[in-house]
Chain A
Amino acid sequence: MMTKRPGISTKIVSKIIPIFAQQQFSIMTSGFASTSDQGSTSDKNTSKGFSISGIFDSILNNGRNRNIFFVCVLIVNLLIKSNGIGINSLDYDESISLKEVSLDFGHIKHEAEWDNNPPFYYYCIWVWHHIFEINEVNARVLSLIFSALAIALFGRFVFKRFNFATALGIAMALTAHTMLLYHAQQARSYSLTLLLVVISTITFFNYLEKRKLQHALLLGLINFLLVYTHYISGIILLIQGFVVFTTDKKLLPKYLISYLICAILIAVRFTKKQFLNILGFNSTGNFWLQKPGEWELNDSLNSLSNNAVVKILFLSACIYLIIQLFVKSKESKHRALIIYTLLASIFTISTLFIISLAKPMFLSRYMIFCVPFIYLSIALVIAQIFSEKYTTPVILVVALISIKLQVYL
């Protein structure tokens, strides 16, 4: 696992957020916060006439630091994305979502017998609007919360496995991502899908590390909710199974419990007509989507990557990571994360494109959950290509490219 890296440029980080920079400084100079350097930090502060050593001690606690980062990203996302959330009138799909609120709670699952969308988001919005009045702002705030939580949780996940700079870069890029911003202000299921994929990913890697049964059980429940929110995102289950199979087969028996939990919940909640609806998807060929071509593929990649430059970086990163997987074989500590990232990004996009040549379902928003992994694949490569000294500035430059160029492209 790539934990905090020593040797990161203090000046650059300190210009961003001083409180985190102080922690980075301590880490890189002390080799993960040795007591001597903590002491020197405290001494400096004490010499200025006030003692904040206690504060720094708590800041140097990594778990707490990650939580501070999580809260900061969450608040920034909520503030930025709430701007203008109620300006536009509802669109067609949002009106479909809101109409579900008028149904009886028990009837909602039967909507999936004719609708191509599973009902979990409709349950959420039903409960939400039995608390808050129906209007444009309230309807969209639920998606805003889901989106902000997804980005903050993913940032925290990256912070834990990489470092502050990488987490900050990815959080910046995701916060400014046009597609994520758009769906954070839409009363539809895509932000919830993104959140559930992030939670599922975090739980999955917790399971890989700790190998506890409760993580497998929790994963089963989360993955069921994922399938119950958006069928296509169910590909995450296959990805996780493949990662377990290829990295540590000893984990497989316990992991299969999560599949079992998911299968039981599907058997309980899905109706027979819902299964028939899924199996008969577009059997008459009258679904509005057409078979994708080169233009659709390129357009989706641009949308998911935020702009053409990031798309090229992403595709280059995928090639690098695939080669690395074959060359370095099982030596890499990050093997599971690399495989997962590749599968959740380029593999998912490619697979959906190929399937769509037979059954059209290739649309960028259906693959919204790939977005965090697009940035993670770039970060993985940057962390490996560049020396530790340059990792932070390069990651931040890439994040800024993603944001800045979006204004012009």
Chain B
Amino acid sequence: MFANTVKDLKQKDDVVIINTADDTNLFTYYFDKKSFLKKNLADELSTQNVFSIREAADIKNFEGNFRNRIILIQQFQQNASGHSAVDYLSSQYEAYFQTGDTSKISLVFLRRKGQ
């Protein structure tokens, strides 16, 4: 789930998006075990700029938190709407690192365009 990698590389202003939300439990167990044991996981994670989405369109709910870098963990490249989270973010962000396609789960690093 790349949770340990994200834990090591995430800086304070970075936003982490987990797509899909089904993976949130497993990610959180290795990312922050204390938060995993809390009842309201979504609230706990949002304080650390970690958000879960089911559809690419869900990103708009927390776009205000975005700064320069986004770390995207995605299990399904295409959501039901046919758009991926990378597509959704492509107007402002560009992917500069992505793990290989052979993995069922991929990790994508995006930075604001022009940086």
Could you tell me which A residues sit within 8 Å of B by CB distance? 89-92, 95-96, 98-99, 101-104, 134
- Cβ of B29 within 8 Å of any chain A Cβ, yes or no, is yes
Distance between Cα atoms of A211 and B2 in the complex (Å):
58
Quote the shortest CB–CB distance from B16 to chain A (angstroms).
17
Query: Is the beta-carbon distance between A102 and B26 smaller than 8 angstroms?
Result: no
With A96-B25, A99-B25 in contact, is A89–B37 under 8 Å at CB?
A: no
Pick the residue among A95, A103, A104 that contacts B29 (CB under 8 A): A95
Considering only CB atoms, which chain A residue lies closest to B4 in the complex?
A: A89
Query: Is the beta-carbon distance between A99 and B22 smaller than 8 angstroms?
Result: no
Quote the shortest CB–CB distance from A126 to chain B (angstroms).
12
Which 10 residue pairs are nearest across A and B when measured between Cβ atoms? A95-B26, A95-B25, A99-B25, A102-B37, A95-B29, A92-B26, A102-B39, A90-B29, A96-B25, A90-B26
Residues of B in contact (CB 8 Å), total 13
Query: Is the beta-carbon distance between B36 and A102 smaller than 8 angstroms?
Result: yes
Query: Is the beta-carbon distance between A101 and B37 smaller than 8 angstroms?
Result: yes
Enumerate 28 A-B pairs (CB-CB under 8 Å) in ascending A order.
A89-B1, A89-B30, A90-B26, A90-B29, A91-B26, A92-B22, A92-B23, A92-B25, A92-B26, A95-B25, A95-B26, A95-B29, A96-B25, A98-B25, A98-B29, A98-B36, A99-B25, A99-B36, A99-B41, A101-B37, A102-B36, A102-B37, A102-B38, A102-B39, A103-B39, A104-B39, A134-B33, A134-B37
Give the residues in chain A near B26, CB-CB below 8 Å.
90-92, 95
Give the residues in chain B near A99, CB-CB below 8 Å.
25, 36, 41
Give the residues in chain B near A103, CB-CB below 8 Å.
39
Give the residues in chain B near A101, CB-CB below 8 Å.
37
Give the residues in chain A near B36, CB-CB below 8 Å.
98-99, 102
Quote the shortest CB–CB distance from B55 to chain A (angstroms).
15
Could you tell me which B residues sit within 8 Å of A by CB distance? 1, 22-23, 25-26, 29-30, 33, 36-39, 41
Distance between Cα atoms of A99 and B1 in the complex (Å):
17
Quote the shortest CB–CB distance from A188 to chain B (angstroms).
14
Give the residues in chain B near A89, CB-CB below 8 Å.
1, 30
Distance between Cα atoms of A219 and B109 in the complex (Å):
57
Distance between Cα atoms of A240 and B39 in the complex (Å):
41
Give the residues in chain B near A104, CB-CB below 8 Å.
39
Distance between Cα atoms of A407 and B82 in the complex (Å):
44
Give the residues in chain B near A96, CB-CB below 8 Å.
25
Which of A90, A91, A95 has the most chain B CB within a 10 Å cutoff?
Answer: A95
Q: With A98-B25, A98-B36 given, can you name 4 additional A-B contacts, CB distance below 8 Å?
A: A91-B26, A96-B25, A103-B39, A104-B39
Give the residues in chain A near B37, CB-CB below 8 Å.
101-102, 134
Considering only CB atoms, which chain A residue lies closest to B35 in the complex?
A: A102
Give the residues in chain B near A91, CB-CB below 8 Å.
26
Distance between Cα atoms of A112 and B29 in the complex (Å):
22
Give the residues in chain A near B30, CB-CB below 8 Å.
89
Give the residues in chain A near B1, CB-CB below 8 Å.
89
Distance between Cα atoms of A102 and B40 in the complex (Å):
9
Distance between Cα atoms of A113 and B25 in the complex (Å):
19
Distance between Cα atoms of A89 and B22 in the complex (Å):
17
Distance between Cα atoms of A92 and B36 in the complex (Å):
14
Quote the shortest CB–CB distance from A153 to chain B (angstroms).
33
Quote the shortest CB–CB distance from A71 to chain B (angstroms).
35
Quote the shortest CB–CB distance from A284 to chain B (angstroms).
13
Distance between Cα atoms of A134 and B37 in the complex (Å):
9
Distance between Cα atoms of A155 and B52 in the complex (Å):
47
Distance between Cα atoms of A104 and B39 in the complex (Å):
9
Give the residues in chain A near B23, CB-CB below 8 Å.
92
Give the residues in chain A near B29, CB-CB below 8 Å.
90, 95, 98
